[in-house]
Chains A and B, each alone.
Chain A
Amino acid sequence: MHAMPKIMLGGIPIDLSVVLMLLISCTVVFVLVMLSVRNLSVENPSKLQNFMEWVVEFVQGVIGSAMDLKKGKPYISLGLTLILFIFVSNLLGLPFSVVTMAHEPVTVFGHVIEATKNLAHGDHVEILWYKSPTADINVTAGLALIVFVLMNYLGIKLNGKHYFKHYIEPFPIFLPLNIIENLAKPIALAIRLYANIFAGEVLITVILKLGILSIPFLAVWQGFSIFVGALQAFIFTILTMVYIAQMTIHEEEAH
């Protein structure tokens, strides 16, 4: 099992690999998008602009399937950022990962990495530096938390008393059930994404133990992982939109 390169900075734990991977992921997405909007043109779009417009239309389709596209217009940017960030994050860990072996305490920026602090003599620990950021439950939990806060905030803001009324429907006794349902949404979002990507990377590590024989399996599994990465990004985005739609749109005919 790999350890995370966590250091304590004045009592605050900081996982350096997550910081690094978030930085890389955000940079890749940002550069990709900025490159695609570099020479915007109405008549003669570049290939990258075409691609980005295709993504925009795809996200519009996703939002349109969840809610009225007129109401969903403000969420296009959110959906785009989500799908791009998660997709890029899912793919980042596929080509390789960086693991260092530590036989003695390792210090970074003058701080000792927690996992290497109390190493017995002759013992070692593998520190995972480079991985998919979405293969870390903390990152997916962060994303899910954003979605959770956002959907409840939007529900209260746009739906008013129907939002609260929804918790005691169809009967007041359903209140705990509805609260659990609401809480289960972000947890399911976070764990689904994390588990898919983490499992993919674990399987890559396992396949690599086959040595030279692993090449065909690796090829198949990496290809499938790209598919899974895209699928999970899509699922996360569409579920976000569905949740927002559920919370913000009060259906008259349903009551």
Chain B
Amino acid sequence: MDIVWTNIVFSIVAFALLYFLLSKFAFSKLFGIMEKRRELVMQQMDEAAKTREQAVAYVEEQKQALNNARQEAQNIIQQSQITSNQQMDKILEQAKSEASRIKDEAVRDIENEKNKAVEELRSEIGTASVRIASKLIKKEVSASGEQEQLVDQYLKEVGGRS
């Protein structure tokens, strides 16, 4: 264990030289790369967090949209139910009124037809009875208007009773 002062100097110089060479040529680059990697990881983590946030927001949005759509569908169904009910009522009403109108018309027609038939029948019966009477009484009864009028009056009485 001899102390040789030059050895101490040499080792100091050697170490200092090694330190400067390494810091200049190697460590600065290495630290730079490590710093860059750290930044990269941070950035990626940031991005991941951001993406996650976006995804959550998106899901929330989708949920909202789904809820809205469901509400809308419900509304549409309700609306359509209401309209269909209204329509049904309307159609029913229409049908009812139509039916009553048709019935009224039919009743009126029947009345008309009946009146016409009665009228016709009456005039036919009048002429027929006049003819019969003229055949029965031949000349005694002339086909003057007086008798015919009489018969008509009589027939009217008969018709009015029926």
Given contacts A15-B7, A18-B7, A143-B15, contact A81 B22 (CB under 8 A): yes
Q: Is the beta-carbon distance between B29 and A40 smaller than 8 angstroms?
A: yes
Q: Does A125 contact B (CB under 8 A)?
A: no
Interface residues of A in 49-107 (CB under 8 A from B): 49, 52-53, 56, 76-78, 80-81, 85
CB pair B6 A13 closer than 8 Å: yes
How many Å from the CB of A231 to the closest CB on chain B? 20
Cβ contact of B36, chosen from A42, A52, A136, A143, cutoff 8 A: A42
Min CB–CB distance B152 → chain A (angstroms)? 126
Number of interface residues of B (CB under 8 A): 32
Query: What does the 1/0 interface line of A15-26 toward B look like (CB < 8 Å)?
Result: 100110011011
Q: Is the CB of B11 within 8 A of A18?
A: yes
Say whether A154 faces chain B, with CB atoms less than 8 Å apart.
no
**Are A34 and B8 touching (Cβ within 8 A)?**
no
CB of B21 closer than 8 Å to a CB of A: yes
The interface residues of chain A lying within 8 Å CB-to-CB of B18 are: 26, 29-30, 81, 85
Q: How far, in Å, is B98 (CB) from chain A's closest CB? A: 85
Complex contact B22–A80 (CB within 8 A): yes
User: With A4-B2, A42-B36, A56-B31 as given contacts, are A138 and B8 in contact (CB-CB < 8 Å)?
Assistant: yes
Q: Are A143 and B11 in contact (CB under 8 A)?
A: yes
Q: How far is the CA of A154 from the CA of B3 in the complex (A)?
A: 27
CB-based nearest B residue for A14: B6
Chain B residue nearest to A139 (CB atoms) is: B11
A146 within 8 A of B: yes
**Contact A139 B19, beta carbon cutoff 8 Å:** no
In whole angstroms, what is the CA distance A223 to B10 when docked?
A: 30
Q: A30-B22, A77-B27, A142-B15 are in contact. Are A42 and B37 (CB under 8 A)?
A: yes
Supposing A42-B37, A136-B7 touch, asked if A26 and B23 sit within 8 A by C-beta, the answer is: no
Known: A22-B10, A139-B11. 9 other contacts (CB 8 A): A13-B5, A18-B4, A18-B11, A41-B33, A56-B27, A81-B18, A85-B15, A133-B11, A142-B15
Give 5 closest A-B pairs by Cβ, nearest first. Answer: A142-B11, A138-B7, A139-B11, A22-B14, A77-B23
